[in-house]
Structure 1
Amino acid sequence: MPKIGIILGSTRPNRNGEQVARWVLDIAARRTDARFELLDLRDHPLPHLDEPMPPSLGRYQNEHTRQWADTIASFDGFVIVTPEYNHGIPGVLKNALDFLYAEWNNKAVGFVSYGGVGGVRAVEQLRLVAGELQLADVRQQVALSLITEFENYQVFKPGDYNVPALNTMIDQVIAWSAALAPLRESRALVA
């Protein structure tokens, strides 16, 4: 059964992302075709990228990097929950992605975003990063507007019409995670 990590991509005080990520986890937990786990970047504090060698070489020298690598390696796919900050992704999320390379390869990723225009510009940037990390990004995404899905821009109250899009995105992440499993397995045999 695939193991899917739901990455909460903001560590900001008073963030809206925690409410969104818990909603994603609540919907996902009703499923029986995968296991889901919340990965809050607050629980994985990484300094600004401080590895002396490029992540693509896999020669991690710092314990925090090795711990992060072990965490990410244990998953078959991901759902990234991200806000949009200044038409882009949060620096902490970009940093967490940049720390590793092989641990991301041949896994699926889907996106749930939120912001003034649903966070879609942040996801466009994430799709570029995902391509370089050899993450297969799925087409379906969930874009949540701060205007319609949040009361006073702070209390998350998603409309039920968001659930089919979320389930479709999760379906795609699970399907691609399963489809990419032979590539992950063959890479593990070589390593």
Structure 2
Amino acid sequence: MKHRLSIIIGSTRPGRAGPIFAEWLDGFAREHEKFEPVLTDIASFDLPLLDEPHHPKLAKYEKDHTKAWSKAIDAADAFVFVAPEYNHFVAPAIVNAIDYLLKEWRYKPAAIFSYGGVSGGLRAAEAIKPLLTGVGVMPIPEDVALQSYRKLLDKDRAFQPSEYVLGEARIMLDELFRWSEALKPLRAG
């Protein structure tokens, strides 16, 4: 049985590039054949700054947007965060979305597919990892970082990955699958 991979689009900014990379990764993950990928766009959940009156550990959600977000995250076995770097840090929408929930994240692995300027979003990727471990996610070390990402988009804004990026994405998915398999008993318990 394939593992359900939630590809989380972390930018909510108008004109964002995240959906371009997420849609490419969705197709790539389907060809990989170990995952059932699902695009999960934080923007579509319209999450305001954390507005639930109860702590997420209680899972006593009152808002419809939180209930929908909880259902989407709970259904996943693994995650890839498609994460831009904003001001040497992770996009605020990602931080907010992670903070909304607790039990839904537990015992699941995550990889980061970051993009940015010269750093390729690596500072954002590293900033996400402690937050993920705080909610029980296992961030794996195998990530993809796109340096100067605009140069990887053609005139129609289609992603043109290099052989190097293809290889790194394959390694990332292979390792994410291994971790998802290893954590499966914990998710079941």
Q: Segments of 4+ in structure 1 off by > 3 A?
A: none
2:17 corresponds to: 16
119, 123, 140: which one pairs with 1:121? Answer: 123
Alpha-carbon contact 1:16-1:155 (below 8 Å) kept = no
Q: Deviations over 1:128-162 (max 9, x none)?
A: 1111011011111100012653468x664321220
Which deviates more, 106-115 or 59-68? 59-68
SS of 1:163's equivalent?
helix
156, 174, 177: which one pairs with 2:177? Answer: 174
1:91 corresponds to: 92
Q: Deviations over 1:108-130 (max 9, x none)?
A: 10010000110000001111111
1:164 corresponds to: 167
Alpha-carbon contact 2:24-2:159 (below 8 Å) kept = no
Structure 1, gaps ≥5 residues long: 187-191
1:133 aligns with 2:171: no
Identity, in percent, stands at: 36
1:184 aligns with 2:179: no
1:59 aligns with 2:65: no
SS of 1:118's equivalent?
coil
SS of 2:143's equivalent?
strand
TM-score normalized by structure 1? 0.91
Q: CA deviation at 1:33?
A: 1.6
TM-score normalized by structure 2? 0.92
Structure 2, gaps ≥5 residues long: none
Q: Which has the higher helix share?
A: 2
2:72 corresponds to: 71
